[in-house]
Amino acid sequence: MPTERRAPSSITVVGIGADGVSGLSDHARALVAEADVLIGSPRQLALVPDASAASRLPWPSPLRAGLPALLASLPQGRVVALASGDPLVSGIATTLIGLLGPDAVRVVPAVSSVALARAELGWSAEECAVVSLVGRPVALLARELAPGRRILALSSDETTPAAIAGLLFGAGYGASVLHVLGDLGSERASRIDATAETWDAHPPRLNVVGIELVGPHRYGWTAGLPDDAYANDGQLTKRDLRASALARLAPTPGALLWDVGAGAGSLSIEWSRAHPTCRALAIEANDTRAARIEQNAASLGVPTVQVVHGAAPDALAELPAPDAIFIGGGATVPGVLDRCLDALRPGGRLVVHGVTLETEVLLASRYAELGGELTRISVETAAPIGTFTGWKPARRVTQWFIRTKG
* CATH number of the domain enclosing 54: 3.40.1010.10
Dist. CA 23–CA 261, nearest whole Å? 54
**Residue 1's pLDDT band (boundaries 50, 70, 90)?**
very low
Last residue of a domain, one of 60, 80, 111: 111
Same domain, 397 and 306: yes
Query: Is residue 119 a part of any domain in this protein?
Result: yes
Query: Which region among 93-97, 147-151, 191-195 has the lowest average model confidence (pLDDT)?
Result: 93-97
Q: Which domain holds residue 291?
A: 227-403
Same domain, 208 and 289: no
Same domain, 148 and 286: no
Query: Is residue 240 a part of any domain in this protein?
Result: yes
Dist. CA 239–CA 269, nearest whole Å? 13
Same domain, 259 and 356: yes
Query: Is residue 221 a part of any domain in this protein?
Result: no
Query: Which region among 13-17, 190-194, 245-249 has the lowest average model confidence (pLDDT)?
Result: 13-17
| CATH code of the domain in which 234 resides | 3.40.50.150
Taking Cα atoms as reference points, which of 168, 164, 102, 176 lies closest to residue 133? 164
Does the structure show a pLDDT above 60 at 222?
yes
Please give the pLDDT value at position 89: 84
Please give the pLDDT value at position 3: 45
Last residue of a domain, one of 183, 212, 241: 212
Same domain, 242 and 333: yes
**What would the mean pLDDT of 58-76 be, rounded to a whole number?**
89
Query: Is residue 88 a part of any domain in this protein?
Result: yes
Burial class (CB in 10 A: 0-12, 13-18, 19+), 365: exposed
Same domain, 233 and 189: no
Query: Is residue 53 a part of any domain in this protein?
Result: yes
Same domain, 236 and 375: yes
Last residue of a domain, one of 212, 236, 270: 212
Query: Is residue 2 a part of any domain in this protein?
Result: no
Dist. CA 379–CA 138, nearest whole Å? 37
Please give the pLDDT value at position 8: 61
Query: Is residue 220 a part of any domain in this protein?
Result: no
Please give the pLDDT value at position 6: 53
Report the domain count for the chain: 3
Does the structure show a pLDDT above 50 at 208?
yes
**What would the mean pLDDT of 303-319 be, rounded to a whole number?**
96
Dist. CA 70–CA 101, nearest whole Å? 16
